[in-house]
Structure 1
Amino acid sequence: MFLADYQQDYSPVSNSLGLSSLVAILPLLVLFVLLGVVRLRAWLAALVAVAVAVVLAVWVYSMPVLDALNSGLWGAAFGFFPIMWIVINAIWIYNLTVETGHFDVLRRSFASVSDDQRVQAIIIAFCFGALMEALAGFGTPVAITSVMLIALGFRPIKAAALALVANTAPVAFGALATPIVTLAGVTGLPLDDLGAMVGRQTPVLSVLVPLGLVFIVDGRRGVRQMWPPALLCGLVFGVFQFLASNYWSIPLADIVAALASALAVLLFTRVWQPAESYTEAPAGTEPGRTTGGGATRVETRRDTRAEVFRAYAPYLVIIVVFVLATRVPAITGKPPAKPGQSGTGLESVTRIVNWPGLHIFNAAGDPVATTFKLNYLSAAGTLLLIAGLLTLPILGVGAGRALRAYGRTLDQLKFAILTVMLVLALGFIMNQSGETTTLGLWVAGAGGAFAFLSPILGWLGVAVTGSDTSSNSLFGVLQVTAAQHANLSATLMAAANSSGGVLGKMISPQNLAIASAAVGMEGREGDLFRRVLGWSLVFLLFMCVLVYLQSTPVLNWMVVGG
């Protein structure tokens, strides 16, 4: 059968949901084994998993061959636009700041806040790392902040551990909220609801992370001495992440939170100092502590106010562009309600089209939506491109240089683009064939307890794929299906996939490899894994408890629409 209307069957193997689930999970197992055990390159592992999903969709689920392939093509298209369109332009802006030296100015600006390395860990690993996660994601903040910490005197393995543990709370809103945009795309749930719900989970986690960083740097004594700025940083970050995701702008959540928390720590350390100041000592000696500050400062160049302003300018321009584009009705406009209609404002060129050639029905006989949104102007990636163009004269970059930088960025990201497109293709094939729904119906058998288990699925997905975006594309529909059959909030469970997923990032093979390479510890990923595994599990347990309580009368007032 090559082309026909396709109706999903969720128990194609002997009419058994359990047996069908054992088959439906095979593409995910293949992906996880190839990535985590065989250590195949991510795009090759995803390609093999896509092939397995197509074979199962056709031979087991009786999906027409062209429908299976077309579903994968639809997913790949969504992987490029709007997903990687965001990442490409975000990293282009970052690369421009590196080429012009303004990134170094920004680094020195953060490092000058305090001589105390516990404060530096908070400012650089958490606040600045969150800013990098907001704009680029995909391992960029881990690589950058670990190198910056080493430059300030941290030991390599500690710098890498700090960068990995800090790269948690901001991840769900990373790359201008790419994971949440993906989650909305694959589940069909409103982006605003998902962003708001995640913004009621990860901010609670953010209160704990800076305290964890201080403990990594200086143990219990460090927490006793440095809990005021650490707690302040986490609280401010959490509050502004909540406010931005629920009331202002989901794509800007991490940018606003990172800048606000960094400013809070900066102002606080101007009027407060710990009894002792901590400085990392060379290997084989005791860490240095001096009374009332006075630790040895890493020598830095003194930048002018104009240089510092230009270093911060790209992020300020991004904020202004996004605020105008998302909060000024005359500019924002209204998107078309359905295919064939036109929008207004930035949405005037937006087109919603039915993906050609797909005619899919669920088991009840109702049509499955197969629309594709082409919001050329209002897409977050396009707004980033506009912000980058506006930043060029501020950074002193000409059109030719900017274009060459864009070409290098595309070359830098070519395998990342391919990987994301393939992972999204895998997710869409599994979703449209009914494989994901089969798994969702099966895990829904856990009933109310599924709320506790939900974050673990996201954690597992990110631990293996290294990406909250990929995890959401793989498990988003499964979470929604399980929620609907377990009488739980679909928005809560989908958000829990993303919020739980952020805690798997620090133990993912990709991120461990990035961190190890950045600090010159190639081949010692195992040592680093053991350093951060405990933090990942402790934070995951905390998230599981939080989500479970949000599914009960205890905290259900936190659930969007609950």
Structure 2
Amino acid sequence: MQWAQNYNPMGNMFLSFVVACIPLVVFFWCLAIKKMKGYKAGLLTVAVAVLEAVFIYKMPFHLALEATALGGLQGLWPIGWIIITAVFLYELTVASGKFQIISDSIASITKDRRLQALLIAFSFGAFLEGTAGYGTPVAIAGGLLAGLGFNPFYAAGLCLIANTAPVAFGGVGIPILTSGQVAGIDVHLLSQMVGRQVPFLSLFVPFWLVFIMAGWKRTLEVLPAILVCGVSFAITQFLTSNFLGPELPDVMSAIVSMACLVLLLKFWQPKTIFRFKDEKEEPAQPEGLPTSKTNYSLPQIMRAWSPFALLVVVICLWGGSASFKAFLSQVTLMIPIPGLNQMIEQVRPIVTQATPYAAVYKFDVLAATGTAILVTCILSKFLVGISWKTWAQTFGVTLKKLTFPLIMIVSVLGFAYIENYSGMSATLGLGLASTGTIFPLFSPVIGWLGVFLTGSDTSSNALFSNLQKVSAHQIGVDPTLLVAANSTGGVAAKMISPQSIAVATAATGQVGKEGNLFRFTIKHSLFLVAITGVITILQAYIFQWMIP
């Protein structure tokens, strides 16, 4: 017998909304106030969520446990698998000694920490988001920055904040494709609408990134670089999303912004080289002189960078070729969860008609992004020239290093799934949707909540796109705008998503400091989602010509 979700268990929508916020408040309290380690905060929060699902939402106990377990499995595969392999690839370059060459080659472009953050955290991170998604940008870019000498905490925080603008089109446009399918809206129209919202963030984030690092005065010193990086990214993102579709905006924007920034730095450098407080500042090198103390030959530099170059090729092949992806997907297990699959019924207005909630675990052995990164790691063994013994030892060290982050990821994915299957997340969305004509201001907040809960803009769109469409019709606003706003608002929550924070701390050696990182990013996340809300309500009632 199916159990039907009840989105108003208290009989009063406001009270139900308040009650649904309890697990979120517990999680915020654990990280921001009690400063608990991430895995402890995650385990406590999922326990609270299960109890609320059972006693408040009247969800059968076995369904609550199975939904939580399914989320935990998703935390291990595919998400945990991506994190393990991404961090492993970085550790291989360190173990082989090639990372020092990578570090010096970047310093030959610029030693300035502000510009290195723009190149790696913003532009290169956007490329990884566009091709792989999940935690790959934070894991790889965060590890690179920490290895370059960035304060590890700043490396983690900056990569989380930088991974904002590309999220809506991440993973070759999967978030937009998903929202179009769920809401029944043309994918190209959604791509155009998101492409008329997110570029405003793309213009702003590079400036904000440097401002966080260096303050107002030192930000103005590199304003030419910030403008070149942000403007080139935003324009390319707008053009590709509006004229080509949702698959390529991140990849194209990242390539263009990196190329433009590197070209600028060939002819211009800031007057002083910015370092962090524990580093010594130095004047810029005179023009014509190398900025790196160690000179390497081009073949040496190419060999050092070869694992990351290979990563780009392999991930593009894995995700970009439909025929190859179909071939890999043949080795995929679709495992219905006994006792949970089709046993929960979603009801209106989350869905247009009562629909059984599927619970199928997808174990895509070959098609998973993590497997693509593992293939890169295997081939990189030959590129960087290390023994199989060192390769295996490095893998073992990586697994040991990631034990607690993986526990946190398993717990927070369990939390996400119990929120979704119990109907708590729907209560949160409906509570915000009841704000009437000012709902466009809060529409992005629903996407923000979805990404915070699930760690994925794709999952948030799958969960809330139809709610956004229904609410838009009720208040007389174009549904394309609000469905797009769900995706755009979600990008601001990526930096505070528990799974993203777990990836960032693992990649930069900050395990146990998840609470500090959460407190560092939360204010920036709230600020950016507020900007998105203002953009959305202006487009809803004043700049309606911006809606395709």
> Deviation at 1:165?
4.7
Aligned equivalents of 2:114, 2:354: Cα separation in 1? 59
- CA distance in structure 2 between the aligned counterparts of 1:38 and 1:24, rounded to whole angstroms: 21
User: In the alignment, what sits opposite 2:268?
Assistant: 273
2:128–2:137 CA contact under 8 A, matched in 1? yes
The aligned counterpart of 1:362 is: 346
**Partner SS state of residue 35, structure 2:** coil
In 2, Cα distance between the equivalents of 1:482 and 1:539?
Answer: 22
CA distance in structure 1 between the partners assigned to 2:333 and 2:174 by the alignment: 17
2:394 alignment counterpart: 405
Within a 5 Å distance, the mapping from 1:284-295 to structure 2 comes to 293=286
The answer to whether residue 105 in structure 2 is matched with residue 82 in structure 1 is no
SS at match of 1:372: strand
Task: Indicate which of 464, 484, 494 corresponds to 2:486.
Answer: 494
**SS of equivalent residue, structure 2 residue 355:** coil
Match of 1:328 in 2: 321
Query: Is 1:111 aligned to 2:107, yes or no?
Result: yes
Counterpart Cα distance in 2 of 1:92 and 1:514: 11
- Please tell me the residue identity of whatever aligns with 1:483: Q
Q: 1:234 to 1:349 in 2, by over 3 A?
A: same
Name the Cα RMSD after superposition: 4.7
CA offsets 1:207-238 (integer angstroms, 9 cap, x no match): 23334456567776766664333222223344
Q: How does 1:251-270 map to 2 (within 5 A)?
A: 257-258=253-254, 260-270=256-266
Q: Partners in 2 of 1:102 and 1:300 — Cα distance? A: 16
Match of 1:207, SS state, is helix
Distance, in Å, in 2 between the alignment partners of 1:533 and 1:361 is 34
SS in 1 for 2:367: coil
> Larger relative CO (CA 8 A, sep 6+): 1 or 2?
2
Contact kept? 1:127, 1:261, Cα under 8 Å: yes
- Sort the Cα spacing of 1:551 and 1:368 in 2 relative to 1 into closer, same or farther, 3 A: farther
Q: CA deviation at 1:433?
A: 1.3
Could you give the per-residue CA deviations for residues 256-277 of structure 1, whole angstroms, max 9, x where no partner exists? 655543332222232x336x62
Q: Which amino acid aligns with 1:422?
A: S
The AA in structure 1 aligned to 2:358 is A
Q: How far apart, in 2, do the equivalents of 1:95 and 1:294 lie?
A: 35
Question: Where do 1:2-151 residues align within 5 Å?
Answer: 4-13=1-10, 15-114=11-110, 119-120=115-116, 122-123=118-119, 126-127=122-123, 136-137=136-137, 141-142=141-142, 144-145=144-145, 148=148
**Cα distance change of structure 1 residues 9 and 556 upon mapping to structure 2, 3 Å threshold:** farther
1:318 aligns with 2:311: yes
State yes or no: 1:235 paired with 2:231: yes
Matches of 1:46 and 1:187 in 2, distance apart? Answer: 32
CA distance, structure 2, for counterparts of residue 211 and residue 398 of structure 1: 43
2:189 matches 1:170:
no
* CA distance, structure 1, for counterparts of residue 389 and residue 36 of structure 2: 37
Amino acid at match of 1:398: S
2:368 corresponds, among 367, 379, 383, to 379
Residues in 2 aligned to 1:505 and 1:298: alpha-carbon distance in whole angstroms: 38
- Secondary structure of the structure 2 residue equivalent to 1:486: helix
**Cα distance in 2 for residues equivalent to 1:219 and 1:430:** 39
The 3 A distance-change label for structure 1 pair 8 and 147 is: same
Structure 2 residue identity aligned to 1:113: I
Listed one character per residue, the Cα deviations across residues 386-409 of structure 1 (whole Å, up to 9, x for unaligned) are 222222211113333222222221
Find the aligned partners of 2:312 and 2:402 in 1 and give their Cα distance.
24
Aligned-pair distance for 1:458?
6.3
Query: How many residue pairs end up in the alignment?
Result: 521
Q: 1:248 to 1:104 in 2, by over 3 A?
A: farther
CA contact (8 A) 1:431 1:477 kept: no
Mapped partners of 1:236, 1:383: distance in 2: 30
Cα distance between partner residues in 2 of 1:413 and 1:529: 22
Counterpart Cα distance in 2 of 1:37 and 1:249: 39
Judged with a 3 Å threshold, the aligned counterparts in structure 2 of structure 1 residues 458 and 149 are, in CA distance, closer, same or farther, namely farther
Query: Structure 2 matches for 1:159-238, cutoff 5 A?
Result: 164-165=157-158, 167-171=160-164, 177=170, 189=182, 201-212=197-208, 226-238=222-234
Which one-letter code corresponds to 1:356 in the other structure? P
Task: Give SS of 2:41's match.
Answer: helix
Q: C-alpha offsets along residues 278-337 of structure 1, whole Å, 9 cap, x if unaligned?
A: 2348979997767x956998652111211211222122222222333333343232xxxx
* Residues 1:54 and 1:185: Cα distance change in structure 2 (over 3 Å): farther
Alignment correspondent of 2:414: 425
Whether the 8 Å contact between 2:156 and 2:508 is mirrored in structure 1 is: no
TM-score, normalising length from structure 1? 0.75
Query: Could you give the per-residue CA deviations for residues 412-461 of structure 1, whole angstroms, max 9, x where no partner exists?
Result: 11111111111111111121111221222111112353333344566689
Counterpart in the other structure of 1:348: 330
- SS of 2:434's partner is helix
Q: Partners of 2:314 and 2:2 in 1: how far apart?
A: 44
Q: Is 1:8–1:360's contact at 8 Å kept on the other side of the alignment?
A: yes
Distance 2:502 2:313 in 1: 33
Task: Give the aligned residue type for 1:314.
Answer: P
Distance 1:533 1:350 in 2: 37
Distance in 1 separating the partners of 2:120 and 2:128: 10
Residue of structure 2 equivalent to 1:153? none
Q: 1:443 aligns to what? A: 432
8 Å contact from structure 1 (residues 350, 376) kept in 2 = yes
Contact 1:72 1:428 (C-alpha < 8 Å) held by counterparts: yes
CA contact (8 A) 2:120 2:141 kept: no
The residue type equivalent to 1:357 in the other structure is G
**SS of corresponding position for 1:374:** strand
What SS does structure 2 have at the residue aligned with 1:19? Answer: helix
Q: Relative to structure 1, is the Cα distance of residues 529 and 199 closer, same or farther in structure 2, using a 3 angstrom cutoff? A: same
Give the superposition deviation at 1:160: 6.6
Give the drift of 1:351: 3.6
> Deviations for 1:101-122, whole angstroms, at most 9, x for unmatched residues?
2222122111111466654554
Alpha-carbon separation, structure 2, partners of 1:140 and 1:322: 13
